[in-house]
């Protein structure tokens, strides 16, 4: 058998067999695999796109969150500042008010004390006057018991006048 | 390295054993050669080589103690005078005649083929026997179909959009996508889908046949893709795929190419182009055929060293056998590469030729 002359019988069978193989694989073999692979490739591509989109969205969300946190922090700071200020103000005000009140009370107390003192002094003065009159009365009575002394006294008084 | 040494020792022992036993029993018998050669013990290189790479009516597997172990295959012939004959190849072994048919002996016309002795002389009947190559082709084609259909079955049972196959179907998918993505899509161009089943079939067909050709025992070892009838059919398929669906631009390039007019009036360029139409598939045919045939020849030659040196003493034979086995391992591994490579190259060039026939004219 020569190697380079195709044998008819083998050629016949080859055409038949290869034809059948080709038909079967064309019909039931490769298109199923390639179509499915293609579909999967499409799906993977789609999934990748979605993932990328989701990532972008996540990124945007994260940024938004950061922004919100930053804003909240700022707000907190201003609020704290305001609170400190208002506290200071209130304290100042309270202090001023308290001082005023205290002044008022002091003033009232002072006037009262002055009035009390006046009245007390007046009373003391009246009492002292009464006492001195009493003493003077008693001294006089004692002096007048002796007519000579009384006489002398009257004399003295008249002289003095 | 230890396992390598062990293997070498084992192979050495194995190779020495038949020689030793033959020497002990005093009979000179050779495993492969006795079947091939009339003069026992001597190697008829031609018959050994061509017997292995060529076709045969029966599939001789081995010879055990002088008995041939052969798979008998059906002989189907149509005689011009007596019509169809179907019989087993065991009737025509060893040059016997059966129903008027016999295998033409060495030196006769149609050597090695079935001929019919008629009163009018020796005639060659229409012969569509299931020969060794046809049988091997059937087995290998069955393997190809099984391989791809088993791979495809996974896709029917699973939601392939959601998950990727593992194991066997994964291997098939890997090969399919490799060929489709790397070759077909790139070389054929936008309407690759129309051609991809043919190209994939060609790839798997050639690849499996190449691989089965390397398997040294039945039902492998038939030299299918190293047979010109096989590669001729494949090349014709590519030729048809190229020329039946070629577009206007492709045929214009052949019959009225963009060259100076005098090259077309004396139709030099069209002639060259038309010859080119045929040389492209012709090169495909020869490339595959020659590569695979040469691979088989090389392997057979390397193995033959063992038997050729059998007469030259145990020491030389043992040494050469080790070298032959190591070289044979190397060749086998090389053939694995070639098996893949040739299938790949055939598919790629077919894709390129198809792609050329589908090209659209460039806008200037």
- Give the C-alpha distances (Å, rounded to integers) separating B24 from B16, B18, B27, B319: 12, 10, 8, 20
CA distance A130 to B51: 173
Is residue A6 in some structural domain? no
Q: Would you list the domain boundaries of chain B?
A: 74-127, 132-356
Is residue A1 in some structural domain? no
Residues in chain A whose Cβ is within 8 Å of chain B: 1, 3-15, 17-18, 20-22, 24-26, 28-34, 36-37, 39-40, 43
Is residue A22 in some structural domain? yes
The CA distance from A19 to the nearest CA of chain B, in Å, is 10
Are B249 and B361 spatial neighbours (Cβ–Cβ below 8 Å)? yes
> Residue A98: pLDDT band by 50, 70, 90 thresholds?
very high
- Cβ contact A29–B128 (<8 Å): no
For B9-70, what is the HEC assignment? Answer: HHHHHHHHHHHHHHHHHCCCCCCCHHHHCCCCCCCCHHHHHHHHHCCCCCEEEEEECCEEEE
- Cβ contact A30–B152 (<8 Å): yes
Q: Which pLDDT tens digits describe chain B residue by residue (364 residues)? A: 566 676 666 655 655 544 433 333 333 333 444 444 444 456 777 788 888 888 888 888 888 888 888 888 888 888 887 888 888 888 888 778 888 888 888 777 788 888 888 887 788 888 888 989 999 999 999 999 999 999 898 888 888 778 888 889 899 999 999 999 999 999 998 889 999 999 999 999 999 999 999 988 888 888 899 999 999 999 999 999 999 988 888 888 888 888 888 877 788 888 888 999 999 999 999 999 999 999 999 999 998 888 888 888 888 889 999 999 999 999 999 999 999 999 999 999 999 999 999 888 665 5
Is residue A3 in some structural domain? no
CA distance B54 to A129: 170
For residue B286, the model assigns a pLDDT of: 94
> Which residues span the domain enclosing A109?
13-160
Are B355 and B189 spatial neighbours (Cβ–Cβ below 8 Å)? yes
- Cβ contact B232–A21 (<8 Å): no
Is residue A68 in some structural domain? yes
- Cβ contact B172–A18 (<8 Å): no
Out of B145, B193, B228, the one facing A24 most closely (by C-beta) is: B145
How many beta-carbon contacts under 8 Å exist across A and B? 134
Q: Which residues of A touch B146 (CB under 8 A)?
A: none
The CA distance from A70 to the nearest CA of chain B, in Å, is 42
Q: What are the φ and ψ backbone dihedral angles of B303, each rounded to 5 degrees?
A: -65, -35
- Give the C-alpha distances (Å, rounded to integers) separating B353 from A2, B135, B182, B195, B227: 30, 31, 15, 12, 23
Q: What is the ipTM of this complex?
A: 0.82
Collect all residues with Cβ–Cβ distance below 8 Å to B44 and sequence separation of at least 6. Answer: B33, B36, B37, B38
For residues B43 and A15, the model is more confident at A15
Candidate from A28-37, A80-89, B341-350 with smallest mean pLDDT: A28-37
Are B228 and A6 spatial neighbours (Cβ–Cβ below 8 Å)? yes
Out of A6, A24, A31, the one facing B232 most closely (by C-beta) is: A6
Q: Which residues of A touch B201 (CB under 8 A)?
A: 21-22, 25-26, 29-30
Give the start-end residues of each E strand in chain B: 59-64, 67-71, 74-79, 83-88, 101-103, 114-118, 121-123, 126-127
Is residue A91 in some structural domain? yes
For residue B108, the model assigns a pLDDT of: 78
Q: Closest residue of B to A11, CA-based?
A: B229
How many folded domains does chain A comprise?
1
């Amino acid at each position: 058998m020569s190697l380079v002359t195709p044998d008819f019988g083998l050629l016949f069978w080859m055409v038949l067999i290869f034809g059948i193989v080709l038909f079967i694989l064309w019909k039931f073999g490769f298109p199923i695999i390639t179509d499915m692979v293609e579909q999967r490739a499409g799906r993977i591509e789609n999934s990748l796109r979605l993932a990328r989109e989701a990532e972008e969205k996540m990124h945007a969300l994260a940024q938004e969150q950061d922004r919100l946190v930053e804003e909240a922090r700022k707000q907190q700071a201003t609020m704290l500042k305001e609170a400190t200020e208002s506290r200071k103000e209130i304290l100042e005000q309270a202090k001023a008010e308290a001082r005023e009140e205290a002044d008022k009370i002091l003033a009232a107390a002072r006037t009262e004390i002055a009035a009390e003192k006046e009245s007390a002094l007046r009373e003391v003065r009246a009492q002292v006057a009464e006492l001195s009159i009493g003493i003077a009365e008693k001294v006089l009575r004692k002096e007048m018991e002796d007519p000579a002394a009384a006489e002398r006294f009257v004399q003295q008084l008249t002289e003095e006048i | 390295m230890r396992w390598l040494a062990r293997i070498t020792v084992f192979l050495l022992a194995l190779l020495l054993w038949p020689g030793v036993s033959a020497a002990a029993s005093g009979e000179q018998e050779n495993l492969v050669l006795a079947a091939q050669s009339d003069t026992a013990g001597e190697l008829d290189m031609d018959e050994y080589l061509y017997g292995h790479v060529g076709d045969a009516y029966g599939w001789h597997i081995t010879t055990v103690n002088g008995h041939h172990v052969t798979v008998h295959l059906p002989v189907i012939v149509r005689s011009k005078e007596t019509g169809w004959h179907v019989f087993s190849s065991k009737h025509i072994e060893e040059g016997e005649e059966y129903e008027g048919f016999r295998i033409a002996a060495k030196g006769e016309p149609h050597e090695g083929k079935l001929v019919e002795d008629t009163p009018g002389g020796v005639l060659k009947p229409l012969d569509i026997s299931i020969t060794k190559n046809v049988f091997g082709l059937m087995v290998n084609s069955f393997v190809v179909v099984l391989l791809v259909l088993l791979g495809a079955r996974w896709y029917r049972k699973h939601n392939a959009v959601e998950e990727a196959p593992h194991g066997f179907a994964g291997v098939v998918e890997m090969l399919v996508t490799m060929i489709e993505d790397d070759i077909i899509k790139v070389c054929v161009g936008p309407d690759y889908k129309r051609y991809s089943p043919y190209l994939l079939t060609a790839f798997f067909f050639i690849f499996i046949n190449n691989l089965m050709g390397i398997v040294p025992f039945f039902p492998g070892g038939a030299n299918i893709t190293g047979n010109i009838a096989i590669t001729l059919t494949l090349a014709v398929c590519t030729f048809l795929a190229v020329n039946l669906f070629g577009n206007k631009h492709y045929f214009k390039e052949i019959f009225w190419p963009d060259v100076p007019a005098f090259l077309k009036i004396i139709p030099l360029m069209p002639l060259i182009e038309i010859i080119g139409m045929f040389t492209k598939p012709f090169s495909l045919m020869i490339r595959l055929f020659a590569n695979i045939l040469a691979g088989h020849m090389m392997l057979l030659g390397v193995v033959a060293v063992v038997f050729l040196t059998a007469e030259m003493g145990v020491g030389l034979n043992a040494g050469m056998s080790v070298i032959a086995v190591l070289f044979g391992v190397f060749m086998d591994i090389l053939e694995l590469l070639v098996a893949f490579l040739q299938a790949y190259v055939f598919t790629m060039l077919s894709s390129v030729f198809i792609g050329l026939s589908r090209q659209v004219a460039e806008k200037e």
